[in-house]
Amino acid sequence: MESPLGREVRGWLRLSAMAGWSRNDSTASYRMTEAERRRGNLLGWFATALRGALYPDPDLAVRTALYPLGWGPPPIADPAAHTAALSHLRA
């Protein structure tokens, strides 16, 4: 049985994959605007961060959720943001 959230997340992942393909294949029939490509990349990043919720071990869950901070969008990939998030979670 599929949930509405599962369908939505799969759509985000599909859009993220298309964003990568459209940048690398100029002959593709699924050309995307820069705004669509950015949205796809951000949704893919967000879905990757949400993966942390699947782990029962809290330490592994937090590390999985925070991993995208290292390679995410520039404002989020900031080392200070990463340190602040960890500090807040430890409090």
Q: How far apart are CA 41 and CA 31, in angstroms?
A: 14
Is the predicted pLDDT of residue 13 greater than 80, yes or no?
yes
CB 8: neighbour CB atoms within 10 A? Answer: 12
For 25, half-sphere exposure in the C-beta direction (CA atoms, 13 angstrom radius) is: 11
Q: Which residue has the higher pLDDT, 74 or 59?
A: 59
Q: Which residue has the higher pLDDT, 20 or 11?
A: 11
Tokens 């759509």, residue? 11
Is the predicted pLDDT of residue 90 greater than 80, yes or no?
no
Number of domains comprising the chain: 1
The percentage of residues in the chain with a pLDDT greater than 70, rounded to a whole number, is: 78
| Per-residue pLDDT reduced to its tens digit, 18-61 | 887 766 666 665 678 888 888 888 888 888 888 888 888 888 88
Q: How far apart are CA 21 and CA 5, in angstroms?
A: 24
Task: Show the tokens assigned to 46.
Answer: 């967000």
What is the pLDDT at residue 11?
92
Question: Domain range holding 40?
Answer: 4-90
